[in-house]
Amino acid sequence: MRVDSLTTMQLDALQELGSIGAGHAATSLAQLVDRPIDISVPVIELLPVTQIPEVFGSPERLVAAAYSRLSGDLGGCILFVAPEESARALADHLHNREAGATVSFGRTEEQLFLNTAHVMASAYLAAVSRMVDMDVLSGEPQFALDMAGAILQIAVVRVGMRADMAILVRTQFKGEGTVMDAALFFMPDPDSLDAVLARLGLV
């Protein structure tokens, strides 16, 4: 099912699903961070997966990404992405470092990014599971640092991404004068999207 084939009611329901999941994800991240951090009200959009590389501007922009394959009652994947400079700023904030201290991604920074992605994804999927009464889990996330335009190819190879559309949850983390952009993409396989809509009584 493509985005342009969804009815207005189906689009509204999927956006509501994204909004509820985003709220849970933001709360869980706030609990993870043992320092003051503000999380903006998420912007929820539905978009074709082919538009994912353009969410942060140029497809050539360097981004950090964490991929997880879905398991349980739904197939698909979930993707957490942040511009490279935002990912470094997040590492500074979570490690209680001076702003700008993280200049590259090492093993420690990768693991911190993966942990953040796992917390966000798990909380989001828990909310989705409750709303549609289905068991949805995320696998162990995998890290990549590459141009935004390469993200989809990596997702296809690493986690077998087959989705045609994505629910985008875009937010900003704000801490001590630093603003960090990030986005979570929920990408169910086409048959799993149909199952979600059926559980919502929209098929």
The pLDDT value recorded for residue 143 is: 95
* Longest CA pairwise span in the chain (Å): 52
Between the alpha carbon of residue 199 and those of residues 20, 40, 144, 193, the distances in Å are 16, 30, 34, 10
CB 67 within 8 A of CB 79: yes
Q: Return d(Cα 79, Cα 74) in angstroms, integer.
A: 15
pLDDT at 36: 61
Are 160 and 76 contacting, i.e. CB atoms less than 8 angstroms apart?
A: no
Give the pLDDT of residue 7.
75
* pLDDT given for residue 25 in this prediction: 72
Q: What is the DSSP string of 59-123?
A: TTSEEEEEEEEEEES--EEEEEEEEHHHHHHHHHHHTTPPTT---S--HHHHHHHHHHHHHHHHH
Identify the pLDDT of residue 111: 93
> pTM for the full model?
0.87
CB 194 within 8 A of CB 73: no
Any idea where the domains of the chain sit in the sequence?
3-198
CB 181 within 8 A of CB 172: yes
Q: Classify domain 3-198 at the CATH topology level.
A: Chemotaxis protein chec (3.40.1550)
Residue 26, pLDDT score: 72
Residue of 101, 63, 61 whose CA lies nearest to 82: 63
pLDDT per residue rounded down to tens, the chain (203 residues): 555 566 788 777 777 777 777 777 777 777 776 666 677 777 888 888 889 999 999 999 999 999 999 999 999 999 999 999 999 988 888 787 888 889 988 999 999 899 889 888 888 888 888 888 999 999 999 999 999 999 888 888 877 788 888 888 888 877 666 788 999 999 999 898 888 888 877 66
